[in-house]
Amino acid sequence: LFIVATELQHGTRTVFNQGNTGQAVAASVSIPSMFIPTRIGKLQYVDGGLVSPVPVEVAKELGADVVIAVNILAQPENTPTSNIWGLFNQNINVMQNRLAAYEMKAADV
């Protein structure tokens, strides 16, 4: 099992494959501004989707022969945002979808 999270201070991708699985999962789903970062050791971690929403590169680095990737992210809404939360959410959506599209290019299927 390999779990991707974002190390918050440096903004780097971290792949957990040993240690406390529950902590790693909590780190991987700690969506910024919805959940507090997860502390593991001396570092804080948030959602892995910030740096790798479709971790094709991780799968290849770890030896996958064939990578089948699916982008399950919500598409940005085609409506004006009316509040700060909607604006924040739309910005994150746009960034993640652009990054996911880039990562999907490296997938075999």
24 within some domain: yes
In the beta sheet, which residues pair with residue 47? 5
Report d(CA 87, CA 29) in Å as an integer: 21
59 within some domain: yes
For 74, the domain range is 3-104
At residue 67, what are phi and psi to the nearest 5 degrees? -115, 120
66 within some domain: yes
Domain count, the chain: 1
For the segment 1-46, what is each residue's pLDDT rounded down to a tens digit? Answer: 899 999 999 999 999 999 999 999 999 999 888 899 999 999 999 9
For the segment 52-106, what is each residue's pLDDT rounded down to a tens digit? Answer: 999 999 999 999 999 999 998 888 777 777 888 888 888 888 888 999 999 999 9
109 within some domain: no
Distances (CA, A) of 62 to 6, 15, 58, 84, 86: 18, 10, 6, 39, 37
Distances (CA, A) of 12 to 6, 69, 86, 105: 6, 21, 26, 21
What's this model's pTM, rounded to 2 decimal places? 0.82
